[in-house]
Structure 1
Amino acid sequence: MLILLPPSEGKTPAPAGPPVDLASLSFPCLEVARKEVMEALAEVSGRPDALAALGVGASLAHDVERNRRLHAEPAAPAHQVYSGVLYEALGYGSLTPAQRARAEEAVVVVSALWGAVGFGDAVPAYRLSMSVSLDGIGRLAAFWKPRLAEALAERAAGEIVVDARSSTYAAAYAPPRAATVTVDVLTERDGRRTVVSHFAKHHRGEFARHLLTRRGAEPATPEDLLAVAREKWNAELREGTARRPHSLALILEG
């Protein structure tokens, strides 16, 4: 099983420790590309128009300043640095040792800066969205797409892929459609269903946690994944096509 997550917008800087070692990160074939993005990010983060170029407000100026020295910033495991709503719901800190090992094996975070990292990879906090275009790099989703297709090909082969990414990060990597299931969250009230947007991250995090903590065999097919979802949610599966993956809907009462 492979669980694809987006990074959180907010990140928790490591209080101390050694800096990132690019050679030690998962998917080492991405090392050169990671260096290119780090250098381009450091350059744009030092410009007078850095906030506008990165699409952030003045309240995040400190985060943008940190981008200029990522090679020296303390690094921590990705499951600590990424600390937004989805990651709070996943709750790595409260997993058992066996469940943590399972998470570090199964979870891959698709990142605008790193391309893709494992859950246990040590990285510094940074500020960069996949929707940004960097000088010399271009739009990051387009930059990473061929590189991630190559880097993740072996990891995704023969696995059920649970895709809990947002559309911004899904644009950077398309796993094999026949074995991929995206996770949607809907509310149902009086027979009418609507897409959940604001709280979808929370429920995707809860679903990822269920996959990591439940007993029994891991799901191997989209139908298996539907059965796992129905252990805790009202859920439906829409079969994929040659052009789109399967879609699992977690249906909440409105």
Structure 2
Amino acid sequence: MIVLLPPSETKRDGGDARVALDWQRLSFPSLTSPRQAVTSAVIELASDTEASQRALGISAKQLFEVERNRMLLTAPVMPALERYTGVLFDGLDASSMTSDEVAFAHETVVVHSALFGPIGAGDLIPAYRLSHNSKVPGFPLKKHWRGVATQALSELGGLQLDLRSEAYAQLGTAAENSAYLRVVTAGADGKRVALSHFNKKSKGLFTRALVRAGIRHESVDSLVAWAGDAGFRLEHGAPGELDLVVDNA
């Protein structure tokens, strides 16, 4: 089973200063050329602070993000699972994982970056700023990534559990054997409503539990059965979808 996660706009600083971005060590080598193309465009954009601010949708207090992009090829790197911060990754809590759990996460978790496309959780990446809706001159990200990322994901075997936001899912379609997970709450009338505030936290906690269990589910039925035993309410939703039902509190 592969778990597809969205990235986070916020990134942790630092990393191994002795090592820089190495294209050959990233997962999905078929994406090297499109990765390099976007990265070159982002670095060029970073030479113009005002243009970068507009393209990235950042405030004057976030201009450090422009410097991050300018230094992409020489900045320190760390595993993607440690680089990303924010609500989902706080719930995933990579810092508390055992060595076996880290190894399992590196084998089964994929993060869909707007800059690098799909990458493995253990791939060494620098801090950067680029979102699915960033306006990079000459590189409409949805058009640039959708075909090549879809092809890369299609080459993965087994079940794919898609926890990406709809915006990031548009940058590449998961393989045919996939299930899109929605976080919902059920009202007194039984009607289910998608959550926003608790969405990312719930996805992080659910992924953490999957990694801790270390089970490679090959079917949705296996995943649903395990979830019930693990204390989660995971149910079949619309065709091709699963509902993670949580309390709205």
Given the alignment, which residue of 50, 64, 67 partners 2:66?
64
Q: Which residue of 2 aligns with 1:89?
A: 91
CA RMSD of aligned residues (A): 1.6
Output aligned runs, 1:86-235, within 5 Å: 86-137=88-139, 139-155=140-156, 157=157, 159-177=158-176, 179-191=177-189, 192-214=191-213, 217-231=215-229, 232-235=231-234
SS in 2 for 1:49: helix
Q: Which residue of 2 aligns with 1:243?
A: none
Counterparts of 2:125 and 2:247, CA distance in 1: 38
Contact 1:20 1:124 in 2 (8 A): yes
Contact 2:150 2:175 in 1 (8 A): no
Q: Which residue of 1 aligns with 2:244?
A: 250
SS in 1 for 2:179: strand
Counterparts of 1:213 and 1:126, CA distance in 2: 29
Once the 2 structures are TM-superposed, how far is the Cα of residue 45 of structure 1 from its aligned partner?
Answer: 2.2
SS in 2 for 1:152: helix
Alignment of 1:27 with 2:21, yes or no, is no
Counterparts of 1:195 and 1:123, CA distance in 2: 32
Counterparts of 1:193 and 1:59, CA distance in 2: 39
Once the 2 structures are TM-superposed, how far is the Cα of residue 94 of structure 1 from its aligned partner?
Answer: 1.4
Contact 2:93 2:208 in 1 (8 A): yes
Counterparts of 1:214 and 1:33, CA distance in 2: 35
Contact 2:13 2:83 in 1 (8 A): yes
Contact 1:189 1:253 in 2 (8 A): no
Counterparts of 1:218 and 1:35, CA distance in 2: 32
Aligned residues: 244
Once the 2 structures are TM-superposed, how far is the Cα of residue 63 of structure 1 from its aligned partner?
Answer: 1.0
* Larger displacement relative to structure 2 (226-235 or 163-172): 226-235
The normalised TM-score by structure 1 is: 0.90
Output aligned runs, 1:41-56, within 5 Å: 41-47=42-48, 48-56=50-58
Counterparts of 2:76 and 2:179, CA distance in 1: 35
Counterparts of 2:247 and 2:71, CA distance in 1: 46
Contact 1:77 1:122 in 2 (8 A): yes
